[in-house]
Amino acid sequence: MSANNAFHIAVLAGDGIGPEVIAPALEVLRKVEQKSGLSFRFTEAPAGANNYLATGKSMPDSTIKLCEEADAILLGACGLPSVRYPDNTEIAPQIELRFIFDLYAGVRPARLIPGVPSPIVGADTRGIDLVVVRESTEGLFASMGKGVVTHEDARETMVITRRTSERLFEFSFRLAERRKARGKPGALTCVDKANVFKAFAFFRGIFDEIEKKHPNVKTDRLYVDACSAMLVKRPWDFDVMVMENMFGDIVSDITASLIGGLGMAPSADIGDKYAVFQPCHGTAPDIMGQGKANPTGMILSAAMMLDWLADKHGVESAAEAGETIERAVDQVYAGGIKPMEFGGSNGTADITKAVLAAL
């Protein structure tokens, strides 16, 4: 574990373009290390569909042990559409890690970087800077691998517990408070379907209880359908949103599409002790090995990791290093870098080189 400013990072490159985006993130962290006084030790470990093909397991026990001992976990992307468990579900260590380490808070920032196109009219002048907090261990995903399928029907069960919901809402309120301290609105919206399902009425009721402990945070409550409609009209009206697992899975993809796509979107899955940082995109086997992958989401996920390490260990220089990475990414895109997913000509190497130069 960490000693002063030294951090041990478990690196799970995964499948497809996972290794192609992990490598630039590690280069960026090494560059930051030179100037920040921080020290990183990276230990790589297998996980994903290729490991399943070779061994019959998504991750060896040694990978899980490494993740348990490390200060943080960086993950590229895992799974391949062509590789499946016997029940036809994909190999997904990123989801398994959430359950193993109780990573209940899925943090999905969506910030429109200068120079990046958005499909939302007015976003270039109004800006987009919001965070989706997705509960990551319960909801409909609690049924993963446990669903019942017969010839006549199929059933999955949604689970929402008080313990996890209380921790999720405390995390979300604290995040809103931290953002307010940094000049953001500091508002929190609970997104649910409380008008139809008892489970979501229960969820909202717990939100109402936790709200009383955080009087300085402005709150709102929205049904998920109304929230989705508002997001694609006026995303700048949102700051922090908290929601159930499946709703968060969908809404976070919507918000990523507002800021240039999944290649631009970082994420984290955070618990009381452990955290995994990874881009929102998948393994994209259709562009694997072609140098087309956009490493920005992975690089920004590494910046999120630094901010989390700073908060967890009280190392302010780590937070400053994370902000330095974000500023470098902003500078690169404002300067005209255009990934292939935007119809540009800049691939993995170009983007990595530009960010390193900006640092």
Q: Which residue type does 167 have?
A: R
pLDDT at 122 over 70: yes
Q: Give the confidence band of 87 by pLDDT, cuts at 50, 70, 90.
A: confident
Q: What is the DSSP letter of 89?
A: P
Does pLDDT of 2 surpass 90?
no
Pairing of strands 148-149, 39-44: unpaired
What does the pLDDT look like over 59-86, one tens digit per residue?
999 999 999 999 999 999 999 999 998 8
Which DSSP symbol is given to 341? G
Q: Check: CB of residue 105 under 8 Å from CB of residue 166.
A: no
Amino acid sitting at position 100? I
pLDDT band at 25 (very low <50, low <70, confident <90, very high): very high
1 falls in which pLDDT band (50, 70, 90)?
very low
Q: Long-range contacts: 224-231, Cβ < 8 Å, 24+?
A: 224/191, 224/192, 224/193, 224/251, 225/193, 227/189, 227/191, 227/251, 228/254, 231/255, 231/258
Going by the DSSP 8-state scheme, the letter that residue 239 receives in this structure is S
Residue 357: is its pLDDT beyond 80? Answer: yes
234: left (phi over 0), alpha (psi -120 to 50) or beta: beta
List, for residues 296-346, the tens digit of each pLDDT value: 999 999 999 999 999 999 999 999 999 999 999 999 999 999 999 888 999
Residue 88: pLDDT band by 50, 70, 90 thresholds? confident
Residue 34 has pLDDT above 90, yes or no: no
pTM for the model stands at 0.93
Domain 1-103+263-358: CATH architecture, name and number where available: 3-Layer(aba) Sandwich (3.40)
pLDDT at 89 over 90: no
**CA–CA distance, 262 with 78 (Å, rounded to integer):** 15
CATH 3.40.718.10 boundaries in the chain:
1-103+263-358, 118-259
Of 235, 241, 256, whose CA–CA distance to 301 is shortest? 256
What is the chain's alpha carbon radius of gyration, rounded to the nearest angstrom?
20
Average pLDDT, the chain: 95
Topology (CATH) of 118-259: Isopropylmalate Dehydrogenase (3.40.718)
pLDDT above 70 (res 205): yes
* Dist CA 106 CA 136 (whole Å): 6
> CB atoms < 10 A from the CB of 196, how many?
10
For the record, the structure tokens of 186 come out as 């500091």
pLDDT at residue 48 above 80? yes
Q: What pLDDT score was predicted for residue 78?
A: 95
3: confidence class by pLDDT, cuts 50, 70, 90: low
β-strand pairing of 72-77 with 6-14 = parallel
Over residues 231-236, the mean pLDDT reads 97
Q: What are phi and psi of 165, to 5 degrees?
A: -65, -40
**CB-side neighbour CA atoms (13 Å) of 331:** 14
